[in-house]
Amino acid sequence: MTLPKSLRPRNRYVFFEAETLPDASFGEHDLRRALWFEAQNLYGDVTSAETRAKLVEYDGDDATLGAGVVRCDHDGVEETRAALACIDKVQGDPVGIRVVGVSGTLKAGRDRYGGTPETRETTVDGSPAWERGDVVDVRTDDGFMCGTHHDLGKE
C-alpha cells in the first residue's frame, strides 16, 4: 500500500559534475560512500540522516568528467550541496564536484541539466592528453598538468 501523495516525502534532485584525473579509478559505490562520509563529518548522524541524501546515478565512464544525481529531502538541499562540495578525494583519487542545478523531478532535471561536455583523447608534444572544451589535461612524467589552449599556445 502506498502513502497518499500529501503524506509522501518531497524529494529534490541535485545534479552535479565530477571532474578528476584521467587515470582515476572509482565508481558509483565509492562516490556514494564518500558522500555519506562527508555528510556525517559535516552534520553528524542525525542531520545527515534527515537529509535522506542518496546517490541515484553516476556516469563516470568518461576519462575525466562524470555526471550524477543525488536525491534528497526538500529541506536538505543546502546540506546535500555542502556535503558534495566537501568531497575532495574518492578512493585516494582527487576529485572536484560542481553542482549544476536542483530539480523537483528527475525528468525535468535531465531535460534542463542533462549532458556533460565530451572529452576527447589527443596528444600534446607527444604526450597523451585529454581535451574538454578549452581545458586540456596533459600526462607528464610527474603526473598531470592542466591548462587551456591559450596556455599551450594552441589558439
List the one residue out of 45, 119, 103, 24 whose CA is nearest residue 69.
103
Question: 91 in a domain, yes or no?
Answer: yes
pLDDT above 60: residue 5: yes
Dist. CA 133–CA 117, nearest whole Å: 7
**Between 70 and 28, the higher pLDDT residue:** 70
Q: Which residue has the higher pLDDT, 118 or 123?
A: 123
Query: Does residue 4 sit within a domain?
Result: no
Q: Radius of gyration over alpha carbons of the chain, in Å?
A: 18
Parallel, antiparallel or unpaired: strands 135-140 and 89-90: unpaired
**Domain harbouring 96, CATH code:** 3.30.70.3250
- Supply the pLDDT for residue 138: 81
pLDDT of residue 38: 95
Is residue 2 assigned to a domain? Answer: no
Q: Are 42 and 36 in contact (CB under 8 A)?
A: no
